[in-house]
Structure 1
């Protein structure tokens, strides 16, 4: 595999972007109504792109367990998207099951900050202290508690990204890295009991949303809202009407307001 460098697309885009996750609220969204807005898909949300005949600008995955159990969805994502961003272990799993789909594709290697083989290189506290003056890596820092030091946001994917136990946070970091200034979240419902729009019942993959939400997921979104979001420069809106995210963290937006905001040309 040959990887492109994130340095080559840093701040290369502008305008709006959809981040498409797999919550049920994404199922009936009229994605085809907004052909000029790029879409970043992840995991099984590629099925929404396929159904709406939309080619994603990026397909993301950082969970090797998803590749192992749903490799045909990951293969579909890589084949359909203009570019792919995955972690090394995800590429390795896909290479062992569907190597042909990676041939002649535009690939980027996602690397978590301060991690090698998913283990910390230095303590999270020491790493959080070391980046306190970095213009691109932003994190909480706590002397007394370990978990806040794991929460952060990267505005330059060439330096890595912060994991948060949910792939939309990685996509938000990529969107900021690329230079988009308005991000619209689709299907970021984060309700474990509601499942995913593309699978039902006993065949659904296990989820850890309830376990991780309070400790990692919500703090990561809150950090972004407090430290990264800036009016006119980087704004994030939630198009889900059933999202677990508080409106104080990510403001909701209805379809009518989105249409007015985008003002798609005829």
Structure 2
């Protein structure tokens, strides 16, 4: 077995990674707890403004990364965020004419039924998904797209995949209140840091687990919203999208497994547990902010747990007529 393959296998071993986490947990204060999955394997690089620009994984040459400050912005036309809710399976993508498309986690599986569907951007927040669904991650990495990941997700991509076979470009992001290898900001500290900040809009610094807010500058950090959908929404708004369509934003496990999963074989989800206290309030405030900024957001999941007062609901068939009518003239439909 080649030497680098042995190193990768060792660094991926559960006993070793678990021992690292336990050692870090009991030798650091609680403010550093969110870094336990990074130490000591990941080193981050920052610029003069303390913005994250790259990271390195011990013993492995990972794929190159693109600083968010160099990401092209000014999206033209409509933008589509394709998520993993089961309602996605009801959309006939062969008939839809989509503009810019961003996927998350397992969205890439749609290409197995709709080979012409192209993803321009992608976002991954869950390292567990990378470890458990390597087949889908490999498909994403083979595409000509820009993939947004956290340092933890980057770590597992670098350890599990050969950099030479990765075709996509990769950009790193982090959450505002718990930056990589830095202490977690206390609510009062965060309020002081972001007071009157027009780019990092803080809704609620004192939420039980995660500060609620919305980032208008991804290079300075993103806010967590309990789901990668919230991360992706901030990225698309930052890149300049003025009209956004949300596909598969069902946000409830009761709707069934993700569109690419089968019953009894799906990965666990915390959607139902976090929805009322974390996810729904974050999206509601984000909806108000985006509306005030003239950004239109439409929810194509008719049975989404988010109400129509958060984002206007549309039937996916509205995508069939975009060439003939501007989005705001389309009649709302129900399923």
TM-score, structure 1 as length reference: 0.89
1:202, CA displacement in angstroms?
2.3
Alignment partner, residue 17 of structure 1 = 79
Residues 187, 119 of structure 1: alpha-carbon distance in 2 compared, 3 angstrom cutoff: farther
Alignment partner, residue 113 of structure 1 = 176
Q: Following the alignment from structure 2 to structure 1, what is the Cα–Cα distance between the partners of residues 307 and 210?
A: 22
2:225 to 164, 176, 181: 164
Which aligned segments of 4 or more residues in structure 1 are displaced greater than 6 angstroms? Answer: none
1:72 to 121, 135, 156: 135
Higher RCO (Cα < 8 Å, 6 or more apart)? 1
1:1-266 pair list within 5 angstroms: 1-9=63-71, 11-53=73-115, 54-100=117-163, 103-117=166-180, 121-141=184-204, 145-147=206-208, 150-193=211-254, 194-230=256-292, 233-263=294-324
Residues 48, 184 of structure 1: alpha-carbon distance in 2 compared, 3 angstrom cutoff: same
Moved more, 77-86 or 16-25: 77-86
Q: Following the alignment from structure 1 to structure 2, what is the Cα–Cα distance between the partners of residues 83 and 146?
A: 32
Q: Is the 8 A contact 1:87 1:109 kept in 2?
A: yes
Across the two proteins, how many residue pairs are aligned to each other?
261
User: What do you get for the CA RMSD once the two structures are aligned?
Assistant: 2.2
Q: Deviations over 1:23-59 (max 9, x none)?
A: 1110131223334512101111110134212120011
Q: Following the alignment from structure 1 to structure 2, what is the Cα–Cα distance between the partners of residues 63 and 109?
A: 13
Q: Following the alignment from structure 2 to structure 1, what is the Cα–Cα distance between the partners of residues 181 and 259?
A: 29
1:83, CA displacement in angstroms?
1.1
Residues 116, 68 of structure 1: alpha-carbon distance in 2 compared, 3 angstrom cutoff: same
Unaligned residue ranges in structure 1 (runs of 5+): none
- SS in structure 2 at match of 1:240: coil
Q: Following the alignment from structure 1 to structure 2, what is the Cα–Cα distance between the partners of residues 176 and 262?
A: 22
TM-score, structure 2 as length reference: 0.72
Q: Deviations over 1:53-92 (max 9, x none)?
A: 2120011101111111112211211212411111111111
Instruction: Please identify the structure whose Cα radius of gyration is greater.
Output: 2
Moved more, 95-104 or 207-216: 95-104
